[in-house]
Amino acid sequence: MEVLASSSLSPIFTKPNTLNPNFSIQVKLFVSQPSKTLKASSFRYPRNPSRSNANPGLVFVCNRYLCLLERNDHRKFSGKFMMKSSVSFRKNVSVALVRLVSVLLVSSISVVTTDSPSWGLSEENLLFLEAWRTIDRAYIDKTFNGQSWFRYRESALRNEPMNNREETYMAIKKMIATLDDPFTRFLEPGKFQSLRSGTQGAVTGVGLSIGYPPASEGSAAGLVVISAAPGGPAYRAGVSAGDVLLGIDDTTTETLTIYDAAQMLQGPEGSTVELAIRSGPETRVLSLTRERVSVNPVKSRLCELPGSGSNSPKIGYIKLTTFNQNASGAVKEAIETLRGNNVNAFVLDLRDNSGGSFPEGIEIAKFWLDKGVIVYICDSRGVRDIYDTDGSNAIATSEPLAVLVNKGTASASEILAGALKDNKRALVYGEPTYGKGKIQSVFQLSDGSGLAVTVARYETPAHTDIDKVGVTPDHPLPKSFPKDEEAFCGCLKDPTAACYLNQGLLFSR
């Protein structure tokens, strides 16, 4: 599917901000008058009880921040007198201080707005400030790519035109561009709804998940195909992971973000779109008809291998294609059904699974682990959160497990594969994964638009940062190893097949 929630996001949707995003009160208390000396005439000296109360031996010395009680004749209080007069002393000091503070408070309170300029703000300004504040609170890099985020806000409100919604959207996009983060972006209302529908199970398009070329490919032109949804238009046309999308209709993808490209790939059911695809040295133009691609996240199969009678090995095969809101429930159902058939081992196929909902990935990991860390969530200061499990949700912790991955395995899929590998729960087969180690949350703004914001990066339980590197498998798979469940079983059964994989070695360390 072309909604890159599935390949580049781990969406956590938040409700619109119900607070006024622009106004807060700050009370500033200060003494505007110069420091001065106040006489304290209500104290007596112990060495001369008959001395007049008007003697200025005790004074209040005040500066801008506090007042101190001092003597100005360099004599010392006797301990005996101080004990006798302590109650009177405290009473008089308290009264004097209360009066002083009251006067200063009345004369020196200043009310300011801390999150908006002092001039009047339009509705468009308020929307811009709402977006600014969302990024200010959530973005992973608190240096904001080495700039003063507050100064940028002030400058934008003074200099960027925001006379209508289109101009405001442009100002928000320009602000986000200063972060130099391809995964943090603004979503107009239509794109925001498309993103939500992509995580809810269906989308109308050609069934492609796309991403940026890996760093190892330098400045390769175009966008890379992460996966093609099985049975979708692109899949039937022979598009596969690793192909390069060069153009959509008459638009080159060199200057498109993955989200703009994903939007262009979608459209009304039955409409057509032309794609320029490069597969190896060959470039071809495909005319594809958009369909409603239902994303059923799980396919499963029971593979009975040759054996003697009731002792024939049984392998439970589960293919997970995406992490939408139905994923964990579907995986749980498949595990329980296969366990009911007394399987001896499981194979979890994450090839060409470009990710999706981060919470769904966490829940699925809990099914396989009796305990342990699943993932570390890190920000610029280090680990800020730990997702782990105590085994309370485990349903399949004893059977041997193999996980299949490839370069189309990304995001939430990498979290799951890394957790199972580092906890020694599974052996990982295939090729290095895509390498998306960033997590985005999706925030809805008050006008129905939204922001996808990079809020964290993740590390596997072994503290491996897989961003732009990927999860490294334990063993490779035969190059001809199939991706569908029917052919998979055949490769375990037929020793003469080019894709044959000995089931004994599959689960052996």
> pLDDT by residue (tens digit) across 349-364?
999 888 888 899 999 9
My answer on whether 261 and 327 are in the same domain is no
Specify if 254 maps to a domain.
Answer: yes
pLDDT higher than threshold 80 for residue 386: yes
Residue of 4, 40, 472 whose CA lies nearest to 210:
4
> Which residue, of 75, 108, 141, is where some domain finishes?
108
> Which residue, of 294, 313, 332, is where some domain finishes?
294
Mean pLDDT across the chain, nearest whole number? 78
How many secondary structure helices (H) and strands (E) does the chain include? Answer: 13, 24
My answer on whether 312 and 346 are in the same domain is yes
CATH of the domain at 245: 2.30.42.10
β pairing state of 372-379 and 314-320? unpaired
pTM of the model: 0.62
Range 338-360 burial, b when 16+ CB lie within 10 A, else e:
beeeebbbbbbbbbbbbbbbbbb
187 vs 83, higher pLDDT: 187
pLDDT higher than threshold 90 for residue 388: yes
Say whether 94 is catalytic. Answer: no
My answer on whether 468 and 364 are in the same domain is yes
Residue of 169, 129, 134, 168 whose CA lies nearest to 152:
129
Residues in the chain: 509
**Per-residue pLDDT, 476:** 92
Specify if 139 maps to a domain.
Answer: no
Which pair of tokens denotes residue 299?
């396919």
Model confidence over 286-343: pLDDT tens digits? Answer: 999 999 876 678 989 999 887 755 677 899 999 998 898 889 999 999 999 999 999 9
Lowest mean pLDDT among 25-34, 164-173, 181-190: 25-34
Residue ranges making up the domain that contains 469: 298-506
Average pLDDT in the 179-185 region? Answer: 90
382 vs 21, higher pLDDT: 382
My answer on whether 224 and 283 are in the same domain is yes
My answer on whether 318 and 283 are in the same domain is no
CA distances from 418 to 35, 240, 410, 461 (A): 65, 24, 11, 7
Specify if 67 maps to a domain.
Answer: yes
**Per-residue pLDDT, 80:** 36
Domains identified in the chain, total number = 3
The rounded distance, in Å, linking the Cα atoms of 486 and 349 is 13
The rounded distance, in Å, linking the Cα atoms of 433 and 408 is 6
pLDDT higher than threshold 70 for residue 215: no
pLDDT higher than threshold 50 for residue 64: no
| C-beta separation of 31 from 250 below 8 A | no
My answer on whether 309 and 261 are in the same domain is no
Looking at mean pLDDT, say which of 98-107, 180-189, 390-399 comes out highest.
Answer: 390-399
The rounded distance, in Å, linking the Cα atoms of 318 and 399 is 14
Strand partners, 283: 278
My answer on whether 317 and 380 are in the same domain is yes
**Per-residue pLDDT, 109:** 41
Q: Which of these is catalytic: 319, 332, 436, 438?
A: 436
My answer on whether 257 and 330 are in the same domain is no
Say whether 39 is catalytic. Answer: no
The rounded distance, in Å, linking the Cα atoms of 188 and 183 is 15
Angle at 52 between CA 48 and CA 53, to 5 degrees: 110
Q: Which of these is catalytic: 7, 328, 411, 413?
A: 411
User: What percent of the chain stands above pLDDT 70?
Assistant: 72
My answer on whether 248 and 309 are in the same domain is no
Confidence of residue 182 (pLDDT cuts 50, 70, 90): confident
Single-letter amino acid, residue 348: L
> Which residue, of 64, 89, 108, is where some domain finishes?
108
- Other CB atoms within 10 Å distance of the CB of residue 464: 18
**Phi/psi at 450 (nearest 5 deg)?**
-160, 175
CATH of the domain at 336: 3.90.226.10
CA distances from 405 to 3, 100, 351, 434 (A): 21, 73, 4, 10
The rounded distance, in Å, linking the Cα atoms of 287 and 290 is 10
191 vs 21, higher pLDDT: 191
